[in-house]
Amino acid sequence: MGSGYSLRILYSARAPYRDLLEALRAMSREAGAKWGMGVEELEESEIGPDEAERMKSEIRSIPPQVRGRIVSSGGRPLPLSGRGNLNLGNTPILILYRGGEPIDVYPHMLGASYFGALEAMERILELGPKFYAESRGLLEDPIMRILRDHPEVMGEGLKLKGSNVDVGTGIADLIMEDERGNRLLIEVETVAGEGAAAQVSRLALGYARSSGIPRSAVRMGIVCIEADDKARRACEALGIELYRIIAKRIV
């Protein structure tokens, strides 16, 4: 698949995720044109037994600390079924390659966090495959755990309401409640780009609708290690609270 970065999408034409697949296709084509990536699609009927075994081996060859959990066991769909087969009836599978070697797969569970194919594709499109692969959120789960266990570090009086919450438009990393009863929806990113601002805005709208509360009662926040200038401008324009994690010397 070439000497640079490339993508492969595995899917079933009979599966009920048509809208998700079309969005994934559109963004993959855009990313291919923008970043010079090869993009290949394989429909389930085109994948014979030998190819299926090769795909499963490729997925399993990705280091566990990167691809996390990939076998479904109830809950959200993952690339492999409980019996170890490609789970294309429940989810499209996105594989990222570098120099022909698989380096990441979506969806997957890393710690308590669910990483979906569409969210990954958005980040690859925004950052480019090289920067995305180098800065991918291996720190995001530990940050989420800290904030989940100690919500007060985000502000006095904050209480955790939930983590990895399905809000209808995606998965919100954290939802907190402030002293006035407003909700604070938080997206955790290692490196926040413009797409993170769009994503948290979309999640906040979905959360307001699914919870039956006014959109004005939902605060939006992004917690990151670093944010680029586009992210800062987007947050200012959309009223998103942007938090940067820093180490502060106390002794």
The tens digit of pLDDT for each residue in 115-158 reads: 899 989 988 998 888 877 766 555 677 788 899 999 998 989 99
How large a percentage of the chain has pLDDT more than 90?
A: 63
Q: Distance between CA atoms of 94 and 5, rounded to whole angstroms?
A: 13
In the predicted model, is pLDDT for residue 1 greater than 50? Answer: no
**Cα gap 156→215, rounded to integer Å:** 22
What domains lie within the chain, and their CATH numbers?
5-120 (3.40.30), 140-244 (3.40.1350.10)
Cα separation of 219 and 176, whole Å?
9
Amino acid at 201: S
CB atoms within 10 A of CB 246: 6
Q: What is the DSSP-derived secondary structure letter of residue 10?
A: E
Least confident residue range of 98-107, 112-121, 148-157, 212-221? 112-121
The answer to whether 228 and 191 are in contact (CB under 8 A) is yes
